[in-house]
Amino acid sequence: MPGRHFLHIPGPTNVPDRILNAMHVPMEDHRSPALPKLVLPLFAGLKRLFRTEAGTPFIFPASGTGAWEAVLVNTLSTGDRVLSSRFGQFSHLWIDLAQRHGLDVVVQDEAWGTGASPERIHDALRADAGHAIKAVMVVQNETATGVASDIAAVRRAMDDAGHPALLFVDGVSSVASMDFRMDDWGVDGIVTGSQKGLMLPSGLGICCVSPRALEAQRRAGTNAPLRRTFFDFDDMLRANKDGFFPYTPSLPLLYGLREALAMLEEEGLDNVIARHRFLAGGVRAAVLEGWGLQLCAREPKWHSDTVSAVMVPEGANGADVIRRAYERYNLALGAGLAQVAGKLFRIGHLGDLNELMCLGAITGAEMAMRDTGIAIRPGSGAAAAEEHYRQQAGEGAMARAAE
């Protein structure tokens, strides 16, 4: 199909040319004395990205799922109890992974379209007088429903309950695009992947853990530790301290990560976050004001700044819209997963992105919806988004991004 493909799923996201070029490198010896010059600054850059002084970052040749596993298997023992909220396919999958490792997961089900409840987390921890719960797992941005949870509020709830559980956060579709503060929010383990806010291909499972989590790792080692080989933090730490890896790393992705971190720092992390909020506002204006449709996220406090899950009207099928957008307009939209399959389509708006790219996705979705029989006023979504994007405030957000 002629013209550019419009990739608007919530990851993988568009890889900027600068990063593509940075990854275009010949292979080299991964044990050469030159490698630490590439690798050690990556750890420093990741700490700035996660906003932590005390945390220890890890880079695995994996995806977000691998980083999920790494945090759990290194810090917990067989049969440990953990508490987790479930409100979408990704929170479900992380719980499933924990259960398959023999963890005893206390699941707090929340309605899809809402997120983690700090109140319910508080109550469960308060009731756990014996401190059997070793960790709380929360997905900051549920990519399946476009719902953001308030991690700072979860931390406050844990502190109010006076409970020592570790706090593990999935930031796969929020890190490098929505606010995340590891130290301020007392996060003990943050998990992400390369293919979303970091604007890279998939292939890196990245996590960062607090000193308390590393301490728990040592304790878990003397208990009945969960099995780990590939994801063993100790093997990583031994090699990483000198700027190497215990096995063959993906050098192109490491060069890409260096470029991605440089781009994020040049724009400024606060500006990156403001840009995502601004661009998301335009997409939400298109959905709510222009098309008169609903988001899966039930209230503004749940709105995600990286992905909008658009409910299609009763009788319509989101999968038809996605197929039409792909086949006719060269636009990739995200599918509805599990219990929301067919009920929605998702517009990803994260990574290397500006207003006109969002308008392309909005217009393409609008045409695909009309083609599949959904009654939408022509141009209504784009018009609402345009009004949002022409605001003064947005000019500030985008100008800072361009500096």
- Total residues in contact with ligand PLP, by rule CB under 6 A: 13
Q: Could you tell me if 167 and 153 are in contact, meaning their C-beta atoms sit under 8 angstroms apart?
A: no
Determine if 170 is a binding residue for ligand PLP (CB under 6 A): yes
Helix 380-389 and helix 355-371, axial crossing angle in degrees, nearest 10: 170
For the CB of residue 374, give the shortest distance to ligand PLP in the complex, in Å. Answer: 26
CA dist 82 → 103, 134, 156, 189, 228 (Å): 7, 6, 18, 14, 19
Q: Rounded to an integer, what distance in angstroms lies between the CA atom of residue 51 and that of residue 54?
A: 9
For the CB of residue 115, give the shortest distance to ligand PLP in the complex, in Å. Answer: 12
Residue 228 has which token pair? 């780990």
Measured CA angle at 354 (ends 284, 172), to 5 deg: 70
Backbone φ and ψ for 114, nearest 5 degrees, come out as: -120, 180
Which residue is associated with the tokens 């924990």? 98
What is the Cα 364 distance to its own chain's centre? 25
Site stretch for ligand PLP (CB under 6 A), options 75-83, 103-111, 165-173, 319-327: 165-173
Determine if 65 is a binding residue for ligand PLP (CB under 6 A): yes
Helix (H), strand (E) at residue 57: strand 56-60
Site stretch for ligand PLP (CB under 6 A), options 135-143, 339-347, 351-359, 378-386: 135-143
For the CB of residue 168, give the shortest distance to ligand PLP in the complex, in Å. Answer: 12
Exposure string (b/e) for 356-389, b if CB count within 10 Å is 16 or more? ebbbbbbbbbbbbbeebebebeeebbbebbbebb
By CB under 6 A, what part of segment 202-221 binds ligand PLP?
A: 202
Nearer to ligand PLP, 170 or 355 (CB): 170
Nearer to ligand PLP, 63 or 78 (CB): 63
For the CB of residue 71, give the shortest distance to ligand PLP in the complex, in Å. Answer: 12
Determine if 306 is a binding residue for ligand PLP (CB under 6 A): no
Determine if 11 is a binding residue for ligand PLP (CB under 6 A): yes
Exactly one of 16, 55, 57, 64 binds ligand PLP (CB under 6 A); which one?
A: 64
Residue 386 has which token pair? 């345009």
Exposed, middle or buried: residue 179 (CB in 10 Å: 0-12, 13-18, 19+)?
buried
For the CB of residue 141, give the shortest distance to ligand PLP in the complex, in Å. Answer: 6
Sheet arrangement for strand 344-348: 294-295, 307-311, 344-348
By CB under 6 A, what part of segment 31-50 binds ligand PLP?
A: none
Exposure string (b/e) for 32-47, b if CB count within 10 Å is 16 or more? eeebeebbeebbebbb
Nearer to ligand PLP, 307 or 385 (CB): 307
Site stretch for ligand PLP (CB under 6 A), options 23-31, 62-70, 310-318, 332-340: 62-70
Exactly one of 41, 63, 107, 128 binds ligand PLP (CB under 6 A); which one?
A: 63
Q: Which residues pair with 307 in a beta bridge?
A: 348
Site stretch for ligand PLP (CB under 6 A), options 136-144, 145-153, 157-165, 395-403: 136-144
Determine if 173 is a binding residue for ligand PLP (CB under 6 A): yes
Nearer to ligand PLP, 110 or 355 (CB): 110
Determine if 90 is a binding residue for ligand PLP (CB under 6 A): yes
Exactly one of 35, 42, 139, 254 binds ligand PLP (CB under 6 A); which one?
A: 139
By CB under 6 A, what part of segment 243-282 binds ligand PLP?
A: none
For the CB of residue 170, give the shortest distance to ligand PLP in the complex, in Å. Answer: 5
Give CB contacts under 8 A, 24+ apart, made by 232-237: 232/74, 233/58, 233/70, 233/74, 233/209, 236/58, 236/60, 237/56
Determine if 172 is a binding residue for ligand PLP (CB under 6 A): yes
Determine if 193 is a binding residue for ligand PLP (CB under 6 A): yes
For the CB of residue 196, give the shortest distance to ligand PLP in the complex, in Å. Answer: 7
Which residue is associated with the tokens 């109550």? 123
For the CB of residue 192, give the shortest distance to ligand PLP in the complex, in Å. Answer: 9
Exactly one of 74, 143, 240, 306 binds ligand PLP (CB under 6 A); which one?
A: 143
Residues that bind ligand PLP (CB under 6 A): 11, 63-65, 90, 139, 141, 143, 170, 172-173, 193, 202
